[in-house]
Each structure stands twice: as structure tokens, then as C-alpha cells.
Amino acid sequence: MTTSAETAVHNGKLFIHTVGCQMNELDSELVVAALRKHGYELTADVADADTVLFNTCSVREHAEHKIYSALGRLKYSKRKRPDQVIGVMGCMAQKDQKLIFQKAPHVDLVVGTGQLSEIPLLIDNARENRERQMAISLARRDATRQKVADSFESYDPLRDPEMRPSAFQAYVRIMIGCDKFCTYCVVPMTRGPEQSRSPKHIVQEVQQLAAEGVKEVTLLGQTVNSYRHTENGREYRLSDLIASFHDTPGLERIKFVTNYPRDMTDDLLQAVRDLPKVAHYLHVPAQSGCDEMLKRMKRGYTVEHYREMMHRIHETVPDCSVSSDFIVGFCGETDAAHEKSMELIREFRFKNSFIFKYSARTGTKADAIMLDDVPEETKRRRNNEMLDLQNEISEEDNAARIGREYDILVEGPSKSAVKAGDDDSIPQTQLSGRTRCDRIVVFDGNRRLTGSTTRVRIDDCTATTLIGTIVTRELQHTADGGLPILG
């Protein structure tokens, strides 16, 4: 195919590699949808593509290294196909900017998180003019908060149903950016100031998605429960927002990630309790179980605050599951401090925890003023210890569910079933879905159950998964020979 300039020929094949959080997954979905409107089609084979995009993450150094290695591998292939356009988008683009061109001179495009709508045009420019294109937002230090905020545009174009990874699940962005400035975290720089989207636009988006068959929406925000938007003199919080689209026909389940402990207000917990479509599941990262570490991290709460929040969660929504994030080996973390995090996991028995070794990030306060003094070997040991503990707890709590029945929203063939084959003619395949408390359940069933709610009895488990059987509703005859009833 050709673009607007007759000289700029390319094969229309687009390869995109996405790493990082759900926000990145959504960004990639939207960018791909926009490029399809410009005539591109996706390929899973990078060797096939004249347009290659990397949607990147800067939260840890490891994720960045992997992208730079992947870029390095394209250096020679690009020599053979000079028309290829290679782009780096997302957090690493905003953070590293021109450094990307220095480290990988064959890159044509660097596009920050706030300029994603410009990608189709920037690709055309790069191809037609053979000139590097860079579009990024203002740095937080370089202008007023408002000016910096204006330079980060929330990218929420009309949704393309074909582009969703699943026909009945969708992410919906409700806010961008973060103003919490935890000392270890690069997100306030890469995603800019915290800005909540208008409830009107969010509700429209959810209604459109539900009309297209979406049953489950996951609201996204770096601190999703800090959502606040004033419209026509009224302030909307997350609880108001959820209530305003909760009754949308077709919609069955509502989730939201990631929560900030200090903003876990009672009105939100009451909404989780009272609105039947809301999952009884909260992801609320604790990061550490040691007050000294929490202070150094500038998390804005103590262990006692977190405990009080957990108490309120369980008081209001008794069966609510909670998951967490932890950083091990943060600056100055002693074995005693690490043990306090382990104690926190023992106390609250999280459904699951994401555990990360501290990674110093340029531009953060911790990197500027603290010493990354925990040796890698110690970080690794603490990481493994914590993983083992969390796995033990997850498995015990899953085992306690054996014999119970749950209504499962079926997500489709499980990952192992997909690997085994995608043959529609096989009626029974291993399906995967989730309970209302977000526990993953696998069971055999017909793939046509995807998107429906099915009752499953739990027979077995691992630390991460419940394993069950569909509870079939059989016609039974009553003892007195009366009318059959549904059992």
C-alpha cells in the first residue's frame, strides 16, 4: 500500500510489542485501532512488518533493558528494508526522549503517553520525510501544573470493537497521571499530572461498550479511587461514577484498579457492597509493612492506617478479596524491615501479591537522595521468601474453597487450552473465568459459554487457580411423581 505521498511505499503490516500495565494494554489497543482505520493490519511476525511499534514501561529498569535489546535486534534488519518505520511509544519515550535516538539511532519515532493520537501522522511524516519524529509532553519541573497537565492528552478515541483482546471484556480509562510522587516511582513523570476524565464521557463509553456486547469493564487509573471530577457544580467521586453507569443493560461486572490506600473512602466501600455488579475485589498496594520504609517511600500512610483500612473493607464487604504490591530491597531496608512486610502478608492474607525488587529510576526522589544500598542478592532472597509466603497463603485460602460453588463469569479457553489448540470442533475445552472475588477458576466446558455466567463447584486448587466442574442443572422427578423441578 502507499501513504499520502506516492514515494512512501510500505506493506501496511504493523507489529506492536506491548509491555507494562493495563494502561499500556489499553493504549496499544487504541493505537492499533486508529492505525487500522489508516489501512494497517496487524502481524505477529516482526520480520513481516514495515511498521514496528514498542509500547514501553519505565517502572523498572529491567523492562527498559528488554526494549533496548529488542531495538538492537532490529538494527540490521532495518538496513535491509530502509522503508521500515520503528517507533517507541509510552512511558520510556516520555522518560528517555532523545536518549532513545542516541542509544538506538535506527529508531524513527519517539511518542510519549500524552501524544498517542498523533501516531498515524507521525508515522506518515517519518516515512515520507525520512526524518526523526518526536512528540512528548512537558517535564513536571518545566512549567506550571496546568501547563504540564495540558501537554498530557488523555487518549480515548472511539472504541473499535474488533480490537479488543476479548469481545466481552474492556478496559475504560477514567483518569490519567499521578500526583502522589512516591519517592521510588517514575509514573508522575511519565504519565504526568493526575487528571480525571469527565463522567459524561466515561458513561457514554461504558454504554457503547455494553451495547457492543461487553459484559465486564475494568476502570483504569494509577490511583483509581482518587477519581474526582467536578461538572455543573457537582463533584463526582468513584462511587458516584460507578453508580451512574451501574444499571447499563448487558453489563454484568465492574472492576477498578489500582487503589491508593489513603483514598479508600467509606462511600466507595458502600458502593462495592450495595451495587451487585461490582466485583468484591480490591487491589490496594501496601508496598511495605514497615513504617520507616513507608515514610521513605512517601506513601502517606502507616501500617496502622493500612490496618484500619483493611478493617473497614472487611467490615463493609465481608467476603471482599484484597491483593497487594510489595517492593523488596528499597533503600535502607533491613532484614527486620523486610520481616515486617512478611508479617503484614501473614496478617492480611492477600489473595495475591505482586512483588518487585526495588529498581532505582532516574528522575525520582529516591534516586536523587537515597542510596540503593540493598545488594541484588539480598533483594532476590527477599523476593523469593515473600513469593513463597504469599503462595503458601494463596494455596491455603484456595484449598478452603474446595467443595463450594461459585458463579463464574467465563472468560474463554484457559491459556493452556489455547496453547493445546484452538479447534472449534472440540466441544469440551478447558475454560477459565473468575469468581466475583476475582479468583481464577478453570473447568471443562463448551467454549460457547464464553461471556456467560456459569455455576462451578470447586474440586481442587493450586496457589493461583481453583479447579472445578460445571454444576449441571438436571431435570429431576419429585418423589410423589409430580411435575419435574429444576435441581
- In sequence order, the β-bridge partners of residue 13 are 41
184 binds ligand 5AD (CB under 6 A): yes
Among 168, 86, 166, which Cα is nearest to 122's? Answer: 86
Least distance in angstroms from the C-beta of 292 to ligand SF4: 18
Q: How many residues sit in the footprint of ligand 5AD (CB under 6 A)?
A: 12
DSSP 343: H
For 70, the enclosing helix (H) or strand (E) is helix 61-80
Least CB distance to ligand 5AD at residue 291 (A): 17
- Where b means 16+ CB within 10 Å and e means fewer, 63-74 reads bbeebbebbeeb
Q: Which residues would be at the binding site for ligand SF4 (CB under 6 A)? A: 178, 180-182, 185, 187-188, 222-223, 260
Q: Which is nearer to ligand SF4, 191 or 340 (CB)?
A: 191
The rounded Cα 83 to chain-centroid distance in angstroms is 33
Is 226 a binding residue for ligand 5AD by CB under 6 A? The answer is: no
Binding partner of 148, given ligand SF4, ligand 5AD, none, CB within 5-8 angstroms per partner class? none
Beta carbon of residue 391, minimum distance to ligand 5AD (angstroms, whole number):
18
Of 8, 18, 57, 60, the one binding ligand 5AD (CB under 6 A) is 60
Tell me which stretch binds ligand 5AD (CB under 6 A): 125-133, 161-169, 352-360, 465-473: 352-360
- Which entry of ligand 5AD, ligand SF4, none binds 286, CB below 5 to 8 A by partner kind? none
Site for ligand 5AD (CB under 6 A): which residue of 90, 112, 221, 285? Answer: 285
Cβ closest to ligand SF4, residue 94 vs residue 223: 223
Supply the minimum distance, in Å, between the C-beta of residue 96 and ligand SF4.
Answer: 18
Amino acid letter for position 291: D
**Size of the chain, expressed as the number of residues it contains:** 487
Residue with Cβ nearer ligand 5AD (330 or 443): 330
Among 179, 308, 325, 395, binds ligand 5AD (CB under 6 A): 325
Pick between residue 54 and residue 356 the one whose CB is nearest to ligand 5AD: 356
**In the beta sheet, which residues pair with residue 321?**
281
Half-sphere exposure of 294 (CA within 13 A, CB side): 21
Q: Which is nearer to ligand SF4, 91 or 93 (CB)?
A: 91
| Contact partner, 325, from ligand SF4, ligand 5AD, none, Cβ < 5-8 Å per class | ligand 5AD
Site for ligand 5AD contains 260 (CB under 6 A): no
Q: Rounded to the nearest whole angstrom, what is the least distance from the CB of residue 177 to ligand SF4 in the complex?
A: 9
Q: How far apart are CA 52 and CA 456, in angstroms?
A: 43
Helix (H) or strand (E) holding 485: strand 485-486
Residue closer to ligand 5AD (CB basis): 219 or 251: 219
Exposure letters 298-326 (e unless 16+ CB within 10 A, then b): ebebebebbbebbeebeebbeebbbbbeb
- CA angle in degrees (0–180, nearest 5) for 118-122-124: 125
Q: Which CB sits closer to ligand SF4, 90 or 468?
A: 90
The answer to whether the CB of 126 falls within 8 A of the CB of 84 is: no
Q: Which amino acid is present at 184?
A: Y
Q: Is the peptide bond before 258 cis (omega within 30 degrees of 0)?
A: yes
* Closest CB to ligand SF4 among residues 220, 254: 220
Distance CA 336, CA 343 (A): 10
What single letter denotes the amino acid at residue 366? A
60 binds, among ligand 5AD, ligand SF4, none (CB under 5 to 8 A by kind): ligand 5AD
Whole-number Å distance between alpha carbons of 449 and 272:
26
Question: Whose Cβ is closer to ligand SF4: residue 52's or residue 178's?
Answer: 178
Residues 354-373 that bind ligand 5AD (CB under 6 A): 356, 358-359, 361
- Name residue, grid cell 539511532: 105
Q: How far is the CB of 324 from ligand 5AD (least distance, A)?
A: 9
Q: What is the DSSP string of 464-481?
A: S-EEEEE----EE--TTS
Q: Among 269, 198, 186, which Cα is nearest to 227's?
A: 198
- In whole angstroms, the minimum distance from the beta carbon of 349 to ligand 5AD comes to 19
CB of 356 to ligand 5AD, least distance (A): 3
Residues that bind ligand 5AD (CB under 6 A): 59-60, 184-185, 285, 287, 325, 327, 356, 358-359, 361
